[in-house]
Structure 1
Amino acid sequence: MNTNFEQWFLYPSEQSEKNFHELIESTVSLITNEGTKVDKPFAGTSREDIEAMARKVTHLPVSGQQMEAVMKDIRDVVKHSLWISHPSAMAHLHCPPLLPSIAAEVMIGALNQSMDSWDQSPVATYVEEEVLKYFMKQIGYPAKADGVFTSGGTQSNYMGLLLARNQACQTYFSVNAQRDGLPVEASKLRILCSEHAHFTVQQSAAQLGLGIHSVVKVKTNDQQQLCLDDARKTLEQLQKEGLIPFAMVATAGTTDFGSIDNLKEIADLVDTHQLWLHVDAAYGGALLFSHQHRHLLNHLSEADSITIDFHKLYYQTVSCGAFFVKDKQSFQHIMYHADYLNPEEDHEEGIINLVEKSVQTTKRFDALKVLMTFKLLGTDTFGEMIDYTIQLARETAELLRQNNFDVLHEPMLNVVLFRLLPEYVDDPHFVNKLNLELQRYFYQSGELIIAKTKQNGKVYLKFTMLHPLNSLENMKNHIENIKQIGKKIESEKGEKVYEYSVHY
């Protein structure tokens, strides 16, 4: 029986150290050779070939293989992955990670701190707390505020509505939902958000036992922001119907438009009606460090809870997010004590166990990534990156207009929605199909990764321009290529596409 287990763990032995160095060096070599030297973000491999490759490399042997053989298989995985660090990868809010964040991932994995109880993460607990305090200061929150790192916006938005729901049950029904569950009257509770708010508002409502019907969508204005007039009318109508609006979700950076709701006016409205205000700033929260656009978040501090994602516009590796509350007492709505993890005497002695303010138990030491990034870059450089990408998006929108594209909005952040209009056919089904074909063509070619979405039944293409290494010259080339391929599709497939569109 092989008992030489120490070679596979971080352990004070020569063999352990040797294996660790070899694995890390092989990994660095693989990434730099197969990733940083690529000339396009995707190899363009078909789904069928990728599936076949995955089946091959995921064969798990009874006996361990040599490192060279293993890395050869892993090389195929890397080679056919989407290289999100390429400036032409512009589909989603999926950022190129900064080098300090990637380096911190190695440390996070090696230390493997479990961020649920202090005794499992003695230093990491305090690092997370201090990083969060720094961000709460940037937000403008009072000393009684608090926060916790999360897996991202989905979890953070869920937590905001969970705390709001439990508080509403206490306020309106004198029911402790954490202890006794939801009362029958909870079916009257309503959440308001804009029609462009993230889908996790509805998802959270469903998971919280309120049902998707409890989410009432408010219209948006011509800047794609939550319309205050419609919000007022909606609140009045809900109250006339005997329903109970208890929370409003504002968005600082919508997924499709990057629009930022008017936080000051929403906060005033919410205060009048005594609602919980949650701000989903998963995307736009990076403007806290912008030199030119920081004012758009000036009233973020009026929110009862806030979502910020670091794996979006903060350039951190997935996953890395945070959830903040203006009053730390709000976490009482989800606090539990387990004698084997966070006994009550720990709380009485001032020992911090992060599980008490999280819906996760085991949690990663993601604060280390944010800490290393800002210590190495500094806030000034980071802010310059944000401002550059926003300016580039606005210049790109203007460039698209000059080339007769239909641009749906003026970018507030760094996302641009547009579509190519065919030269000779004005049938709306044809236009939709043409733009779908363009998105698929460029993805399959691997040279340009863009997203598709729908607004008012129309298909639009989307540049999500997060990468600070992108340039206007690159965008000029992409736009010209889109025009040329569009003409080719229109001439070669026009008749076929038109016939398809009749049944679209």
Structure 2
Amino acid sequence: MRSHLLNDTTAEQYRLTATAAVERVAAQLASTKKPFTGIAPHELAPALDSVDLDKPLGSAEAALDELDTVYLRDAVYFHHPRYLAHLNCPVVIPAVVAEAVLSAVNSSLDTWDQSAGGTLIEQRLVDWTAGRIGYGPGADGVFTSGGSQSNLQALLLAREEAKSPDQAAPAAPLRVFTSECSHFSVQKSAKLLGLGRDAVVSIPCDQDKRMQTGALARELERCRADGAVPMAVVATAGTTDFGSIDPLPEIAELCARYGAWMHVDAAYGCGLLVSSRRERLDGIEHADSVTVDYHKSFFQPVSSSALVVRDGVTLRHATYYADYLNPRSAAEARIPNQVDKSLQTTRRFDALKLWMTLRVMGADGVGRLFDEVVGLAEEGWKLLAADPRFDVAVEPQLSTLVFRFIPREVTDPALIDRANQYARKALFASGEAVVAGTTVNGRAYLKFTLLNPQTTLADIAAVLELLAEHAGQYLGETLVHAS
């Protein structure tokens, strides 16, 4: 079994096996005609159930053959131009190359003596991101597994910063303010941090799905009047459903006035940091912390995310010293142990993917890709707005389109809901395209999340026609049965 360990004696075997795997994936990518085969769970499950994990196949070739059946053949492929569903992007080749390197070397980014150069690469990328945000030299940060973890750590820092200096005194209730369109991880983080069910105050949005700062000001004043502490305001730069960006300068002013930590969840909108549309993030430089997801709008493989803070000293709230890992003496000797500022201990060298991307393509190259999908969304919005069969919810600020099929001959909103839901499911089952769904004011809507620069306006038009056909078929059959 030692022959399967990666080391100096198995280097050639590693090269041959890895090459075989790459060739399989490359062949699959080249031959994929649809984003999905349309297979149902009950159809795929028997192939997995029949695998006896206690009886190995004995060779990588046999395992790759099996993998074709249980995974590669029926995977959902984000690189296909008609995958339009969630915040999943096609990935750039330099990042995939880095993924192969970091997996083989297997550095762990918790301590210097496990990663060396990896530690410094990650720190350089944090500093680079901080500069793009507009932070000064005191900024710092750390890579994370994704936006949810970044948001959790940001609120942990905010909670600790909001604590009364007199720990013996009863703590006042802590409140977190965020828009009704923000990510669910805000509520989940509050629960994990023990803040209580009422800790998160939902602020209504305007017609463009942006936080209403007037409502935020009123809630902050009510919080103060009630004797509670405005712990944090979470602004969103790119909501999951609409891609909307909250009014960051106004929120920053309110946070300064009421002494609240300002966190910007830019997991989606961080692509604007390298975009020609950078001004849409104006005000983000005033935030105390920012979430960025490179695996959304920097075209990186999952996972690649970071939390960046304006004042690196605040990361001390995530610091714990262990004699067997990162003793206090190491910090005193200025040894850069990334675990000192991370919620994770063992951690992949995900930063290498972004490093390779920037060294090959440059920030402007990534920005041009993101500009393409934002521009495509603007054209798609015009197409939808001009088509009387569809109601489009919001003019996009990023690359998301939310819309609803509304046939003139049907007036029952519940029936229209079911038609839209049916159309999405039928399209998914066909495998011809993948779209997402959501609700707007209690009604069922469909959603395109455009993160593939290869998607064209013709693709959008074709998928809209398919959706209209499926919805029309459902309505026709339903009305016939009802008559």
Which TM-score band (shorter chain)? over 0.9
Contact 1:203 1:212 in 2 (8 A): no
2:178, 2:201 within 8 Å by CA — same for their partners in 1?
yes
Show CA shifts across 1:266-291 (max 9, x none).
10111011110000000001101111
Q: Are positions 1:398 and 2:392 aligned together? A: no
Q: Alignment partner for residue 145 of structure 1, among 94, 114, 139?
A: 139
* Pairwise CA distance, 1:495: 5.0
Over residues 380-404 of structure 1, what are the superposed CA-to-partner deviations in whole Å (9 max), with x where a residue is unaligned?
2211111111111111111122222
Q: What residue is the counterpart of 2:190 in the other structure?
A: 205
What is the CA distance between 1:173 and its match in structure 2?
5.1
1:502 alignment partner in structure 2: none
1:174 counterpart residue number: 166
Q: Which runs of 5+ in 1 are unaligned?
A: 500-504
User: Are 2:236 and 2:266, in contact at CA under 8 Å, matched by a contact in 1?
Assistant: yes
SS in structure 1 at match of 2:296: coil
Match of 1:229 among 214, 221, 236: 214
Aligned mates of 1:22, 1:401 — CA distance in 2: 53
SS at match of 1:239: helix
Counterpart of 1:119 in structure 2 is: 113
| Alignment pair present for 1:41 and 2:35 | yes
After superposition, give the CA deviation of every residue in 1:220-246 in whole Å (9 maximum; x if it has no partner): 112211101111111112222222212
User: Aligned runs of 1:80-479 on 2, under 5 Å?
Assistant: 80-169=74-163, 172=164, 174-175=166-167, 185-186=171-172, 188-291=173-276, 293-404=277-388, 405-479=390-464
Aligned-partner SS, 1:162: helix
Is 1:486 paired with 2:480? no
For residue 94 of structure 1, report the CA deviation from its aligned partner.
Answer: 1.1
Letter aligned with residue 386 of structure 1: F
**Residue pair 1:35, 1:79 contacting (<8 A) in 2 also:** no
Residue 438 of structure 1, CA deviation:
0.6
| Aligned partner of residue 382 in structure 2, secondary structure | helix
Q: Is structure 2 residue 50 aligned with structure 1 residue 50?
A: no
Question: 1:63 and 1:429, CA in 2 relative to 1: closer, same or farther beyond 3 A?
Answer: closer
> Which has the higher mean CA deviation after the structures are superposed, 278-287 or 96-105?
96-105
Give me the TM-score of the superposition, normalised by structure 2: 0.97
SS in 2 for 1:185: coil
8 Å CA contact 1:42–1:80 kept in 2: the answer is yes
- Amino acid of the structure 2 residue aligned with 1:42: F
Q: Deviations over 1:119-169 (max 9, x none)?
A: 000110011011111111111111111010000100000001000001111
Output the amino acid matched with 1:442: L
Distance 1:36 1:219 in 2: 46
What is the CA distance between 1:63 and its match in structure 2? 4.8
Cα pair 2:427 2:466 within 8 Å, conserved:
no
Q: Say if 2:223 and 2:229, in contact at 8 Å, map to a contact too.
A: yes
TM-score normalised by L of structure 1: 0.93
Provide the C-alpha distance between the structure 1 equivalents of 2:224 and 2:342, rounded to a whole number of angstroms: 33
Q: Secondary structure at the match of 2:403?
A: strand
Please state if 1:65 is matched with 2:54.
no
May I ask how many residue pairs the two structures share in their alignment? 481
Corresponding letter in the other structure for 2:66: D
RMSD of aligned C-alpha atoms? Answer: 1.6
- What percent identity do the matched residue pairs reach? 38
Distance 1:237 1:17 in 2: 65
* Contact kept in structure 1, 2:230 and 2:259, CA below 8 Å: no
> Contact 2:35–2:77 at 8 Å: present in 1 too?
yes
CA distance in 2, matches of 1:432, 1:362: 46
Q: Is the 8 A contact 1:173 1:185 kept in 2?
A: no
2-structure distance, mates of 1:425, 1:219: 31
TM-superposition CA deviations, 1:289-347 (whole Å, max 9, x none): 111x1001122110001100011111111111000111111011121111111111111
Once the 2 structures are TM-superposed, how far is the Cα of residue 484 of structure 1 from its aligned partner?
Answer: 2.2
Q: Secondary structure at the match of 1:466?
A: coil
Q: In 1, Cα distance between the equivalents of 2:242 and 2:56? A: 52
| 1: CA distance, partners of 2:415 / 2:423 | 12
Equivalent residues of 1:408, 1:417 under 8 A apart: yes
Q: How far apart, in 2, do the equivalents of 1:381 and 1:12 lie? A: 37
Conserved? CA contact 1:117–1:354, under 8 Å: yes
Equivalent residue letter for 1:9? L
Aligned equivalents of 2:322, 2:456: Cα separation in 1: 53
| Contact 1:422–1:490 (Cα < 8 Å) also in 2 | no
Equivalent position of 2:26 in the other structure: 32
Aligned 8 A contact 1:286 1:313 in 2: yes
Name the amino acid aligned to 2:309: V
Q: Deviations over 1:157-212 (max 9, x none)?
A: 0001000001111xx3523xxxx9xx7535x1111011111111100000000023
CA distance in structure 2 between the partners assigned to 1:493 and 1:396 by the alignment = 30
* Separation in 2, partners of 1:414, 1:315: 14
Question: Take 1:383 and 1:226, find their aligned partners in 2: how far apart are those partners?
Answer: 26
